Amino acid sequence: MRILYILFFSNVFASVYSQDGLIDRAKKISDEMTMVLSLDEETSEKIYHIQLKRFIDAQKIRTTFKNDKPMMRAELKKLQNRLWGKLNAVLGEDKMKSWSAHKKSI
């Protein structure tokens, strides 16, 4: 019984730690976009939520399709297309072009 408790709590803590990593990654990208594109606070917050949802969805896709690599790649590609659509709706075409140029220059 003691082992079951240990396994249960280790899974819970691993899940929480994993979510923290996603939050940090989303924050890092939204901060970089805010700096590079000179975004206001409201737009920056929208970008953060879009990026966080992207990372959570990508994690779900990777766990769901971990044994089917071609299907996983196809689903991740769809997710990427949705991400760019959402970012384009929030930022507009000009800022998206600036962001693409910045990413290519890195």
Structure pTM?
Answer: 0.78
List the chain domain ranges.
Answer: 17-105
Answer yes or no: is pLDDT of 17 > 50: no
3-state secondary structure the chain: CHHHHHHHHHHHHHHHHHHHHHHHHHHHHHHHHHHHHCCCHHHHHHHHHHHHHHHHHHHHHHHHCCCCHHHHHHHHHHHHHHHHHHHHHHHCHHHHHHHHHHHHHC
pLDDT for residue 16: 44
- When pLDDT is cut at 50, 70 and 90, the band that residue 28 belongs to is very high
CA distance 63 to 50: 20
